[in-house]
Amino acid sequence: MADLTSDFVGIKSPNPFWLASAPPTDKEYNVRRAYEAGWGGVVWKTLGEAGPPVVNVNGPRYGAIWGADRRLLGLNNIELITDRPLEVNLREIKSVKRDYPDRALVVSLMVPCTEDAWKAILPLVEETGADGVELNFGCPHGMSERGMGSAVGQVPEYIEMVTRWVKQHSRMPCIVKLTPNITDIRKPAMAAHAGGADAVSLINTINSITSVDLDLFAPEPTIDGKGAHGGYCGPAVKPIALNMVSEIARAPEMAGLPISGIGGVTTWKDAAEFLALGAGNVQVCTAAMTYGFKVVQEMISGLSQYLDEKEMVLSDLVGRAVPNVSDWQHLNLNYIAKAKIDQEACIKCGRCYAACEDTSHQAIAMSDDRVFSVKDEECVACNLCVNVCPIEGCITMERVAPGATDLRTGKSVPAEPADWTVHPNNPMAVKAAE
């Protein structure tokens, strides 16, 4: 099996799979079970300052979104940071790190936005022997109303300021966890970079309400007749997370800034996609909460087998797809493809026909005996038919070779790429390249 040993900002672990800061990493019992199951590292659930205790709700804490087969697609949580005493967490962190020196153990932190608060907690964490700290600038509920979490993460100046404090008052590697509840993820990332962060991690949860109880007329989960917005995570957020990771990875201002990828990682393939888009490792939460800690074993074996088949090592995969992430105006407008239906695989359900006829380009014909065929003269290669077809591989998109005639336009397919350029008199407009 391929060697999955990871070195992320000097923090070594036997594989790049870490448990994210969340309920699965809330106490010693869980973390020991996680390490025994095979996780390479954990980010201990967010600690706060000593003082008045954090009080969580004693009722439902999760809302959910399911697929048609009852498969969990997303969780919305209204849980706060740890409600266990700081001294108990610190004692357990020290004990776990002593017994598992080869595993990564990073501590998530959230305290008020004052230098004294950060200066006070950092030595306590450092004394445990933890490998690093992750600054929680992402939580969108509960703590943000107190001027912490995403209330800090949405203000780049605060991110840079707090990161500088942490680097000034601690020798530990500092990872800054970013909120997705912002227009341009590059701005907080650049602020963390300017403040001296060793890495960024993203995404934290997305501000959300997953559902409404139509009898109580209140958001779910419902506490005594009322509900609140919470943080959304799980497989459904993966596309958003991948995009934000890639935006940072390809930004020249942050070239080389290590990224810990978070958001919907459920399988080894999900992890590989994050790594290919520039993440140095991945953090997982919802998958462990859905399937248990041993889900990591499939991730480890799957990623190892993939790397072996590709004759790659882990470092070869990191960032491999970043050069191919482009902006729309640089896509090749002379690339032409058409849909093709495999008649042997087709089950004649008609989904492709209905979708194309009603909502696309009327490019699929249906015969009297329900044989479906593509009308090349109408097909624009939107690939809607591929996505609605229930049989994987039944419909594919095949490139029309340069020099051949595009039946839709009647013109020869050019061999040279063509993109769009900025209009010289209006930067907000585009025109076809000559």
Query: Would you name the residues annotated as active-site residues?
Result: 139
Contact 339, 373 (CB under 8 A): no
- Beta partners for residue 364, in sequence order: 374
Contact 248, 200 (CB under 8 A): yes
Q: How many angstroms from the chain centroid is the CA of residue 416?
A: 35
Helix (H, G, I), strand (E, B) or coil at 19: strand
The amino acid occupying position 60 is P
Q: What is the DSSP string of 384-414?
A: HHHHH-SSTTSEEEEEPPTTSEETTTTEEPP
Continuous segment of H or E residues that includes residue 429: strand 426-432
**Shortest CA distance to 138 belongs to which of 109, 167, 103?**
109
- 216 vs 261: CA distance, rounded Å: 38
Positive or negative: CA dihedral 275, 279, 282, 286: negative
